[in-house]
Amino acid sequence: MSGITHCPVALTIAGSDSSGGAGIQADLKTFAALGVHGASAIACLTAQNPRRVLAVETCPPGILRRQIEAVFEEMPPAAVKIGMLFSAENFRVVAEFFGARAARPRVPLVVDPVMVATSGAPLLKPKAVSVLTETLLPLAALVTPNLHEAETLIGRKLVSVEDLRAAARRINASFGCAALVKGGHLHGGREAVDIFFDGRIELLLSAPFIKGVRTHGTGCTYSAAIAGYLARGCNLPHAVKPAKQFITRAIAGSYCIGKHSVLNQLFR
């Protein structure tokens, strides 16, 4: 018999998606596909399907913190992905936990600032935006806003790739973390273009749009893939590149469930 193989751990702190296409469920599938053990702390429960969000129930801040503490106590993660937290209270709990760990070896935090669902439903309470920007982003290694989230973070409209570049630099300067601004919602382009900037290195990541596929959970999967590659020992620039390829393949391999397309994170 062969010996036990060491497996890196990645933790997702996010919301549960009852339809299995986004949130915690998408993150754990992504970690598994990358050969990383996935741990989770559920910040909120959603009743949703690919078409709409029916309800959101926030996890009490105390039990959210205990979930995170339990993971760090026995299986400390090599990277953490933070997704939908929904309430200002949960943002504070997460920021306080990781802020208190500042003197210890720093675990990279990948923050996906989930604000609005693909269906258009709000997934972030208005008061939570300021807590996100003031307490959590300064602790992050990377923030991964889509077009609309980036517009909220910098306060202006983005309509071109040059705007994405300016937004990534503005976010980095304002919050001190690297930024990956995703341009998948830009109008008129033939490619899905994202801009990464960490204060020193800028990357333009592009892939052809895949026609006829409309999925939810792409942002969750993309940020989880980055966290997965970080857990495997990659640095940030070398994590975002294969993560872009991963999400492109997951979209291309989408399968149908009922009337909807679902990402295939476990493609072969």
Structural domains of the chain, with CATH: 9-252 (3.40.1190.20)
Catalytic sites, residue numbers: 182, 215, 217-220
pLDDT in tens, 67-87: 999 999 999 999 999 999 988
Nearest to 34 by CA among 249, 207, 254: 249
Amino acid letter at 210? Answer: I
Contacts of 186 (CB under 8 A, 6+ apart): 147, 158, 159, 160, 161, 164, 193
For residue 248, the model assigns a pLDDT of: 92
Question: 3-class SS at 144?
Answer: coil
User: Which regions in the chain score pLDDT beneath 50?
Assistant: 1
Nearest to 153 by CA among 97, 194, 96, 112: 112
pTM for the model: 0.94
For residue 102, the model assigns a pLDDT of: 62
For residue 268, the model assigns a pLDDT of: 60
Q: Label residue 153 exposed, middle or buried (CB < 10 Å: 0-12, 13-18, 19+).
A: buried
pLDDT in tens, 94-133: 999 999 866 566 899 999 998 766 655 566 777 778 889 9
